[in-house]
């Protein structure tokens, strides 16, 4: 029997309650999914332990994909309740973008994250957004996910800023981020694309 | 995944198949990762390999511990390269590999160097990576840098440090709490996101200090918050402060309400919505407070953006549950949403309308819903059906429209769950609205003519048998029922035979024709169907044979099997084939403690009784068997009830004793379960001396001592009392444990020859009225209640004084009575002001007792209760009132 004192338990409980409070009060994202037109993964990122195994994750993706497949989410972002999560989604070409949150999250915050992701990918892929180009620039997509949400907490929702942060990698030891303009960012994204096609 | 491929133009097909990762294989990529070790690094090549590794991880591939370690070590070499793009990928893969503590040390110095780099991008990312992988020991070394980073002029660096702080607070709260000055400064930042992250962290640091949170909210609601996200956070914190302060300021204006209302005019939609939602969720919100929030939500309903419409209708749906009138203003906008492309929105709109609609709008509403039902998924349809059921119970006069609607959708395609929801709704309507009976039954008949679900067919046939014969023209149902005998599978056929028999028993004019039909069933090729037909023909008195008496037949056909099925199953399993037939009266009637679990969750956790390590299902059987094996008790007759063990000693004393009270008709037996918890002693001739001077009706008849009680092997001693037959005698018993104590040599385990007499005081216990009550459930409380009739009914009202909550009062009364709650009425919905609880049981002398409890609670938590008891014996009904009056 390990020596657990009353003090330890109260400490554990207070930490736990702080954590629950965090989940309750700070807007948070459970996952971001980018799937293709058959529901296969292009890139996914989970920020929550709600789906502990690969199978659980894949089942959720399958369910989300099949329940939204027939809807038209091309002009405006759509939204649905799926397995007690709210999922906001938008499609373009053969790519399906999803952002998931708990069922009491503010839907508009969720949609803002989705729009940020969607538009940033658009900028980075020079509006040539489809599965092939997404896979060819997978590094950009992964960096993009990394810049939007950190451990469930929203880092940035402004597409141009996200794209700028991702694209700045093209400049070797380049100028500080804040001094870069958006057009420069797009230019570097373009340059990167060209490089990856050269291989 | 078996999703059909979306076809594109043919000439693009091949192209679409192409993927840069086609044929990628883990082993090969791990080989490729050797380029990380080249003295002349090719940054672009390395980036590509990392991307491939990340791709594999992203597709669900896993690396073994060794593979991950090797990749990690190789990656650390890449810090030599000055290529910025490569460095970003290095950061990414380090986070994905989540290295162990001893591996972290290797990259620490590289990352710390990056944290102090001139390049902001390096600094921001190095902070995030280091905080993600560090285990806290390192935190002391980098704390200084993190504090600086929080107030860095570059917003990306500041945000990286703040977000990392939020994560670290979970594991190292004492360190992060030291940063509050810096975080406070960051809250004033001009950069929107920095403000948001700083506010989130500051709030969490001050979480447990209500005063500080309140101060924070007060100062920020007066100032300007730039970022919409931060404004949303502030709204959440404000609601929290309002919630916590609501107790102190009863009446008068709610603090901070003005701030929330002001946010309804914010330029960002997410803030407007957050504020509207916060207002609707205020505790005891008034209509005046609600109105401005409802107005903005109404505007959202006609937005072109689905997300806005969804958010608004979902919130209004919740409001409609508590304040339906406040939402009625939105009904016109809501109705136009029924045809919304997004089915989630349409369903929410319909269910909201069903909650807020008035009697006159029902017809119009149903017309709109009919169009909508054909093209939504089953899961949405079920929600709608349930909403319609409650609407119908609210407006019984509209049953015709609603019943028609249900029968129409019943004819359409649908899965089992959906059909079951419809059938359940129709059954409830028939039960609660007498006028709806005839039309409801004919809809059901029509449905079983073409029903693919055996479960539903048999359920309907059973219901038809009970209700059909009581209608004006029972004969019209016979055709439908007999069709089942001709067309269906064996299970349904057997059900139909029983239903036919019920018609025969209740409607004399139909009897001859029923006989003809039943006789045809004698040639069925299924045993069960033939057996039933034979049995019923016999009962009903076919061909002038001796029919059973009318009452017996009806009892047999309509009576409920008032035995718990699990008990019957257990008894049948333990029955050994012999000359003696199985006696159904030997089946115990006590409901086991865990049968309430829903079908969905087959009792995973068994809440075992205190001292019953054996399988709980057989506790009652085991008691019965054990007692009947003791000759002195075998003449007491059938065991009526055994109580749960009552502890008579404190925990962790030398001797642990509990008592089980066994109730017989004219006797009680106390079974004392004793455990010796001291290894060095042995007890012999253990005996409980019972003082029954405070239990006048009881006379001790026998005491069975326990010969020896060694360490840690429990034993029992029994004391039996005589009491007046069939009377719920009560009394208090005090107990003294007497024994002969011997020391045991710990080395040999042998007891010494000599010993002493000793005694040990046990706690008192009582035999109370609830001990004479057995929990027996009924399948249909309403029917059972009606069948007992008003003659044996006793009604009275009681004040229960101030109670913690309604639920607490309900469970207290249930415990006093010791009866079985029916139809889940022991669960009190939170926040309800009144509750009705149905109980059933069997009192000593096998008297069936039903209880209907109506509770009400008022503001200062005063609880009042109306108790209506029906039983076969009015004296027992009076006794129940006495129990409550004295409890």
> What interface predicted TM-score (ipTM) does this complex get?
0.79
Whether pLDDT at B425 is above 70: yes
Percent of chain B with pLDDT over 90: 21
In a domain, A6, yes or no: no
In a domain, A13, yes or no: no
Give whichever of A76-80, B372-376, B845-849 has the largest mean pLDDT: A76-80
Beta bridge pairs of residue A86: A81, A101
Q: Answer whether B84 sits within 8 Å of A170, measured CB to CB.
A: yes
* Interstrand relation of A85-92 and A78-82 (parallel, antiparallel or unpaired): antiparallel
Q: Answer whether B20 sits within 8 Å of A157, measured CB to CB.
A: no
Distance from CA of B5 to the nearest CA of A (A): 6
Whether pLDDT at B617 is above 50: no
Q: Answer whether B344 sits within 8 Å of A81, measured CB to CB.
A: yes
Whether pLDDT at B4 is above 70: no
Buried b (16+ CB within 10 A) or exposed e, A154-170: bbbbebbbbbbbbbbbb
> How far is the C-alpha of B851 from the C-alpha of B465, rounded, in Å?
27
Q: Answer whether B154 sits within 8 Å of A72, measured CB to CB.
A: no
Indicate the burial class of B647 (C-beta count within 10 angstroms; 0-12, 13-18, 19 or more): middle
Percent of chain B with pLDDT over 70: 91
With contacts defined as CB-CB under 8 Å, which chain A residues touch B207? 18, 21
- The confidence score (pLDDT) of residue A17 equals 47
Could you report the per-residue pLDDT of B484-498, keeping only the tens digit for each? 888 888 889 999 999
With contacts defined as CB-CB under 8 Å, which chain A residues touch B344? 79-81
Contact B132, B108 (CB under 8 A): no
- The tally of domains found in chain A comes to 1
In a domain, A72, yes or no: yes
With contacts defined as CB-CB under 8 Å, which chain B residues touch A26? 166, 200, 204, 233
Mean pLDDT for B554-565 is 70
In a domain, A15, yes or no: no
Q: Answer whether B344 sits within 8 Å of A79, measured CB to CB.
A: yes
With contacts defined as CB-CB under 8 Å, which chain A residues touch B44? 195, 199
- Domain containing residue A189: 27-198
Q: Which of B48, B154, B229 sits opposite A109 (nearest CB)?
A: B229
- What tokens were used for B376? 């939504």
Q: What is the DSSP letter of B776?
A: -
Q: Answer whether A139 sits within 8 Å of B47, measured CB to CB.
A: yes
Nearest Cα neighbor of B444 from B394, B466, B514 is B466
Contact A93, A118 (CB under 8 A): no
Q: Most B CBs within 10 Å: which of A41, A61, A149, A153, as the mutation test of the B interface?
A: A153
Mean pLDDT for A70-99 is 92
In a domain, A138, yes or no: yes
Q: What is the DSSP letter of B579?
A: S
In a domain, A130, yes or no: yes
CATH number at residue A64: 3.30.450.60
With contacts defined as CB-CB under 8 Å, which chain A residues touch B50? 139
What rounded mean pLDDT belongs to chain B? 83
Characterise B808 by phi-psi region: left (phi > 0), alpha (psi -120 to 50), beta (else). alpha
Size of interface A-B (CB pairs under 8 A): 189
Angle at B646 between CA B640 and CA B647, to 5 degrees: 155
Q: Looking at chain A from residue 17 to 56, which residues have their Cβ under 8 Å from any Cβ of chain B?
A: 18-19, 21-22, 25-27, 37-41, 43-44, 54
**Which pLDDT band, with edges at 50, 70 and 90, does B253 fall under?**
low
Q: Answer whether A177 sits within 8 Å of B120, measured CB to CB.
A: yes
With contacts defined as CB-CB under 8 Å, which chain A residues touch B193? 155-156
Domains of chain B, earliest start first: 449-559 (1.25.10.10), 616-767 (2.60.40.1480), 770-886 (3.30.310.10)
Could you report the per-residue pLDDT of B254-283, keeping only the tens digit for each? 778 899 999 999 999 999 999 999 999 988
């Amino acid at each position: 029997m390990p020596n657990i004192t009353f003090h330890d338990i109260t400490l554990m409980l207070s930490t736990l309650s702080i954590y629950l409070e965090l989940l309750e009060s700070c807007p948070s994202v459970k996952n971001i999914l980018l799937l293709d037109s058959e529901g296969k993964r292009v890139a996914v990122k989970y920020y929550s332990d709600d789906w502990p195994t690969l199978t659980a994750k894949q089942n959720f993706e399958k369910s989300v994909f099949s329940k939204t497949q027939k809807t038209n989410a091309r002009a405006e972002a759509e939204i649905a309740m799926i397995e007690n999560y709210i999922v906001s989604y938008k499609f373009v070409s053969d790519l399906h973008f999803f952002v998931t949150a708990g069922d009491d999250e503010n839907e508009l915050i969720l949609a803002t994250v989705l729009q940020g992701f969607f538009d940033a990918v658009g900028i980075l892929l020079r509006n040539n957004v489809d599965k092939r180009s997404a896979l060819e620039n997978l590094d950009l997509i992964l960096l993009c996910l990394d810049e939007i949400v950190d451990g469930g907490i929203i880092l940035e929702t402004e597409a141009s800023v996200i794209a700028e942060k991702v694209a700045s990698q093209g400049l070797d030891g380049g100028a500080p981020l804040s001094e870069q303009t958006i057009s420069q960012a797009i230019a570097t994204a373009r340059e990167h694309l060209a490089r990856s096609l050269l291989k | 995944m078996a999703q059909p491929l979306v076809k594109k133009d043919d000439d693009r097909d091949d192209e679409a198949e192409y993927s840069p990762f086609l044929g990628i294989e883990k082993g090969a990529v791990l080989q490729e990762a050797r380029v990380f070790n080249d003295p002349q690094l090719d940054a672009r090549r390395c980036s590509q390999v990392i991307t491939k590794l990340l791709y594999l991880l992203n597709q669900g591939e896993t690396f073994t511990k060794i593979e991950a370690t090797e990749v990690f070590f190789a990656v650390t070499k890449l810090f030599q390269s000055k290529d910025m793009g490569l460095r970003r990928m290095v950061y990414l893969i380090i986070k994905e590999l989540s290295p162990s503590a001893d591996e972290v040390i290797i990259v620490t110095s590289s990352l710390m160097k990056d944290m102090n780099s001139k390049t902001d991008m390096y600094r921001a990312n190095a902070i995030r990576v280091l905080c993600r992988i560090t285990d806290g020991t390192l935190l002391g070394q980098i704390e200084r840098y993190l504090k600086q980073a929080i107030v860095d002029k570059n917003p990306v660096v500041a945000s990286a440090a703040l977000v990392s702080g939020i994560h670290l607070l979970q594991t190292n709260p004492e360190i992060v709490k030291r940063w509050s000055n810096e975080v406070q400064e960051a809250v004033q930042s001009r950069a929107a996101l920095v403000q948001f992250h700083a506010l989130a962290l500051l709030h969490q640091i001050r979480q447990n200090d209500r005063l500080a949170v309140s101060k924070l909210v007060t100062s920020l609601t007066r100032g300007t918050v730039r970022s919409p996200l931060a404004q949303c956070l502030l709204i959440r914190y404000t609601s929290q402060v309002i919630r916590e302060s609501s107790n102190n300021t009863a009446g008068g204006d709610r603090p901070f309400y003005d701030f929330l209302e002001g946010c309804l005019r914010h330029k960002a939609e997410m803030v407007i919505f957050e504020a509207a939602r916060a207002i609707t969720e205020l505790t005891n919100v008034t209509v005046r407070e609600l109105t401005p929030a409802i107005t903005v939500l109404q505007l959202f309903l006609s937005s072109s953006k689905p997300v806005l419409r969804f958010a608004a209708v979902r919130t209004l749906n919740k409001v409609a549950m508590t304040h339906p009138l406040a939402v009625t203003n939105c009904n016109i906008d809501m109705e136009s949403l029924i045809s919304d492309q997004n089915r989630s929105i349409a369903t929410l709109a319909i269910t909201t309308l069903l909650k807020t609609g008035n009697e006159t709008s029902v017809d119009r509403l149903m017309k709109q819903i009919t169009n909508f039902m054909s093209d939504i998924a089953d899961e949405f349809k079920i929600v709608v059906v349930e909403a319609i059921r409650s609407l119908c119970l609210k407006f019984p006069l509209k049953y015709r429209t609603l019943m028609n609607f249900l029968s129409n959708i019943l004819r359409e395609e649908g899965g089992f769950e959906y059909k079951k929801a419809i059938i359940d709704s129709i059954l409830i309507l028939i039960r609660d609205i007498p006028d709806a009976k005839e039309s409801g039954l004919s809809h059901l008949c029509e449905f079983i003519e073409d029903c693919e679900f055996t479960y539903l067919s048999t359920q309907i046939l059973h219901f038809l048998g009970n209700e059909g014969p009581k209608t004006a023209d029972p004969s019209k149902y016979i055709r439908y029922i007999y069709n089942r005998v001709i067309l269906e599978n064996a299970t349904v056929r057997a059900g139909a035979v029983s239903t036919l028999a019920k018609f025969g028993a209740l409607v004399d004019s139909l009897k001859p024709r029923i006989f003809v039909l039943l006789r045809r069933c004698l040639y069925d090729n299924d045993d069960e169907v033939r057996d039933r037909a034979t049995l019923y023909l016999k009962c009903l008195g076919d061909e002038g044979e001796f029919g059973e008496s009318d009452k017996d037949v009806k009892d047999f056909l309509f009576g409920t099997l008032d035995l718990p099925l699990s008990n019957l199953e257990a008894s049948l399993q333990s029955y050994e084939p012999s000359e003696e037939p199985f006696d159904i009266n030997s089946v115990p009637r006590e409901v086991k403690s865990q049968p309430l679990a829903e079908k969905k969750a087959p009792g995973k956790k068994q809440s075992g009784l205190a001292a019953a390590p054996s399988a709980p299902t057989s506790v009652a059987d085991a008691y019965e068997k054990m007692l009947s094996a003791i000759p002195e008790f075998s003449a007491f007759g059938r065991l009526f009830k055994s109580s749960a063990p009552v502890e008579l000693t404190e925990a962790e004393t030398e001797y642990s004793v509990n008592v089980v009270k066994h109730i017989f008709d004219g006797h009680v037996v106390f079974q004392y379960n004793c455990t010796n918890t001291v290894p060095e002693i042995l007890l012999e001739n253990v005996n409980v001396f019972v003082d029954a001077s405070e239990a006048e009706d009881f006379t001790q008849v026998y005491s069975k001592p326990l010969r020896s009680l060694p360490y840690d092997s429990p034993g029992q001693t029994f004391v039996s009392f005589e009491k007046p037959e069939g009377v719920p005698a009560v009394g208090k018993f005090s107990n003294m444990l007497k024994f002969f104590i011997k020391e045991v040599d710990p080395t040999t385990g042998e007891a010494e020859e000599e010993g002493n007499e000793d005694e040990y005081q046990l706690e008192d216990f009582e035999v109370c009225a609830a001990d004479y009550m057995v929990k027996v459930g009924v399948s249909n409380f309403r029917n059972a209640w009606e069948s007992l009739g008003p003659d044996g009914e006793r009604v009275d009202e009681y004040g229960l004084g101030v109670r913690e909550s309604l639920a607490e009062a309900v469970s207290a009364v249930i415990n006093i009575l010791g009866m079985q709650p029916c139809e889940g009425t022991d669960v009190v919905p939170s926040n309800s002001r009144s509750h009705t609880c149905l109980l059933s049981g069997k009192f000593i002398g096998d008297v069936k007792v039903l209880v209907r409890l109506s509770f009400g609670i008022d503001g200062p938590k005063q609880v009042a209760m109306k108790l209506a008891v029906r039983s076969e014996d009015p004296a027992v009904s009076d006794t129940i009132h006495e129990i409550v009056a004295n409890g």
